[in-house]
Amino acid sequence: MKRLIVNADDFGLTGGVNRAVIECHQAGAVSSATLLVNGEAAEAAASLAAANPALGVGLHFNITSGTPAAPPEQVPSLLGEGGQFPGLAAALVRLSTGRARTGELKAELAAQIGRCLELGLRPSHIDSHHHLHAHPRLRHVIGRVAPALGISRMRGYRMRARSPKALAIAAAARLPAGAGALKTPDRFSGIEVMGSRSLAGWLARELAAGGDCLEFMCHPGYADERLAQVTSYNSLRQAEMEGLVSGEFPRAIEAAGVRLISFRDL
């Protein structure tokens, strides 16, 4: 039987995102989530995960926004003004030019995994905010650090890329990383339908495309005032949530005859 992981990114970003993730999980549409440990609602997310043990929770490794988990003086090459992560464009430049030091990337990754453990969660897997772990330098770091800390699974990017963003991510993920590979699902999907309510039809086509295990990424959230303050991707999160809990999405899973799992079962 084919297997499906539906992973909700950005768990812990806000209270409204947390509520949406749990509602989607309880509706049978989401089986996994990845935690932003430096999100303002990370502790609340961990409590919700404890109350919903069937939800697998991994680490959404973040070096693009917010504050580091490691002491700032230990990771200065990763930070911009005010001791904050510098944004996607600057983080990508630092990774590509070597300005982001490998030792500091390792320290921050270990600190973020450590924060998960402090919150009572053993990460089921790793992915990353803004997909930066597709970059070979960051994949190399994850391949060195994560297994030593008990994590053996990671989001992969084998996909039928149909947008410039997806093509760029898939191309980066094919570059050699020089580290042992972590286990990944056979295929990945979800980038092209970010912000859409029409998720069930896309999922059905992706499940019919082959491979033993598909990861489908989503970003459910309530588009409340707080979410609008912390991210420009806000109203579209609610659209995704509505598509996930509509009933059509769980029915598409059932009709495909696949088993909904988390990364713990991979």
Identify the CA nearest to 11 among candidates 99, 264, 47. Answer: 47
Averaged pLDDT for residues 211-222: 96
180, pLDDT greater than 80? no
pLDDT at residue number 210:
79
Query: Within 10 A of 99 (CB to CB), how many other CB atoms are there?
Result: 12
Amino acid at 143: G
Cα–Cα distance, 28 to 177 (Å, whole number): 36
Q: Is the pTM of this model over 0.95?
A: yes
110, pLDDT greater than 80? yes
Averaged pLDDT for residues 33-55: 98
Give just the sign of the alpha carbon dihedral 126, 128, 132, 137: negative
Written as six digits, the tokens of 222 are 């309530």
Query: Within 10 A of 37 (CB to CB), how many other CB atoms are there?
Result: 26
Averaged pLDDT for residues 106-111: 98
pLDDT at residue number 1:
83
Alpha helix ranges (H) inside the chain: 15-26, 42-51, 88-97, 102-118, 136-145, 164-173, 199-207, 225-230, 235-245, 248-256
Cα–Cα distance, 110 to 237 (Å, whole number): 29
Averaged pLDDT for residues 123-143: 97
Length of the chain: 266
Averaged pLDDT for residues 141-164: 94
252, pLDDT greater than 80? yes
Confidence of residue 94 (pLDDT cuts 50, 70, 90): very high
pLDDT at residue number 209:
87
Per-residue DSSP letter, 81: G
Q: What percent of the chain has pLDDT over 70?
A: 100
Averaged pLDDT for residues 181-206: 94
- CA Rg value for the chain: 17
Cα–Cα distance, 217 to 166 (Å, whole number): 12
Alpha carbon 38 to chain centroid, angstroms: 14
- Given a contact cutoff of 8 angstroms between Cβ atoms, the answer to whether 216 and 175 are in contact is no
CA angle (235, 162, 251) in 5-degree steps: 60
Query: In sequence order, which residues have a C-beta less than 8 Å from that of residue 164 and are 6 or more positions away?
Result: none
Q: Is 135 left (phi over 0), alpha (psi -120 to 50) or beta?
A: beta
- Given a contact cutoff of 8 angstroms between Cβ atoms, the answer to whether 153 and 124 are in contact is yes
Cα–Cα distance, 216 to 50 (Å, whole number): 23
Averaged pLDDT for residues 136-163: 95
Written as six digits, the tokens of 19 are 């509520």
Residue 88's alpha-carbon distances to 5, 78, 157, 168, in angstroms, are: 26, 11, 19, 14
pLDDT at residue number 178:
80
Strand-pair partners of 7: 32, 217
pLDDT at residue number 11:
98
179, pLDDT greater than 90? no
Instruction: Round the average pLDDT of the chain to a whole number and report it.
Output: 96
Domains of the chain from N-terminus onward: 3-265 (3.20.20.370)
57-88 confidence digits (pLDDT tens): 999 999 999 999 999 999 999 999 899 999 99
Q: Is 162 left (phi over 0), alpha (psi -120 to 50) or beta?
A: alpha
